[in-house]
Amino acid sequence: MAENGTDCDQRRIGMIKEQHNGNFTDPSLPCERKRRDREERQNIVLWRQPLITLQYFFLETLINLKEWTIKLWHRRSIVVSFLLLLAVLTAAYYIEGTHQQYVQYTEKKFLWCAYWVGLGILSSVGLGTGLHTFLLYLGPHIASVTLAAYECNSVNFPEPPYPDQIICPDEEGIEGSVSLWTIISKVRVEACMWGAGTAIGELPPYFMARAARLSGAEPDDEEYQEFEEMLEHAEAAQDFASRAKLAVQNLVQKVGFFGILACASIPNPLFDLAGITCGHFLVPFWTFFGATLIGKAIIKMHIQKLFVIITFSKHIVQQMVSLIGAVPSIGPSLQKPFQEYLEAQRIKLHHKSDNGVPQGENWLSWMFEKLVIVMVCYFILSIINSMAQSYAKRVQQKMYSEEKTK
């Protein structure tokens, strides 16, 4: 932002000099207009301008539907092939026969994998604010499996009801038979599918930057414009954020596949910049996507799984609950709901929930459910605001184009 302000000042001084010399008559500055337009768009949110925001959201939705319909029409041969394949699969699904056991097994696995891939895409695709699906879904799932594995001394949970509900198998496991690797193997499929979804969600910035570089057109994306400004003012970067972005850009540009792999293998909020960098410098698709997929679906996911499994292992959880109780004054009152929650989970795992034990709702589970609802609602609101602001940008660009043609 400091560099943008300096650039605007330099342009203003140059234009004032030209105006004094009689060579310039228009006092408007492009950078100031962009800043003013950006501020106007940022004010288009539901809690400030609800009617305009909803109107712009519906108009942007209609435009997107029209664009997608046109794209599908141009690729109608692929659409027809897909519909024929879907018709064959539908027939195989409903026709009775010995193949139904394989159909049901395939359906179950496909829906399970698609569920986690979809959550991974929502986490990184950049819709609105992004939905933190690891914290809301995958992390709690891994934690539940970990707690259940140590309690049951087994990961052979009955299917069904697993994965919808976890209960201990009828045969008792041997104490200490569950290892770290056993739990990692149990949750490997869902974790890898979630990681693959996050890799797919990183593709839009790559394709946008690649298309902009090949066509020479200025893309309708502020992150890409920020990237180009960063390249122009690389030597003048002073703040930590700018230096971190430059470090990511240099690593990806100079090291290539292994640089992308390194950026994708660690929790990295700047990875969008890596996708834009790869697209801008025309890095081959499979180099970018292959490194991203390996980094996010294999390396990074195993790091995150290890962290969650170790954190929720039996002795660590017991130590954490004991430490909570040791807090002066409020410790015992905070410790009680955690103990009640863990005891309720043990009862459920040993399927004793119907044996006359009262099943009152624990405030921890109640709080988590409400947190999930609030975050999902905020995610939906951010999508509405983002699409409304996209339509506002279309309107501003149309007005700017009309002024230039006059």
- pLDDT for residue 17: 45
Confidence of residue 225 (pLDDT cuts 50, 70, 90): low
Structure-model confidence comparison of residues 204 and 318, the more confident one: 204
Mean of the pLDDT values across residues 194-216?
82
**Segment 74-84, tens digit of pLDDT:** 999 999 999 99
**Segment 147-190, tens digit of pLDDT:** 888 888 888 888 877 888 888 887 777 777 788 888 898 999 99
Structure-model confidence comparison of residues 293 and 202, the more confident one: 293
H-run or E-run covering 363: helix 363-405
- Is 384 strand, coil or helix? helix
Confidence of residue 377 (pLDDT cuts 50, 70, 90): confident
Q: Which amino acid is at 139?
A: G
Q: Is the pTM of this model over 0.75?
A: no
pLDDT at position 220 over 70: no
**Segment 4-46, tens digit of pLDDT:** 444 454 444 444 444 444 444 444 466 677 778 778 888 888 8
- pLDDT for residue 113: 92
- pLDDT for residue 78: 93
Across the chain, mean pLDDT equals 77
In this prediction, what percent of the chain has a pLDDT beyond 90? 14
Q: What is the CA radius of gyration of the chain?
A: 27
- pLDDT for residue 272: 66
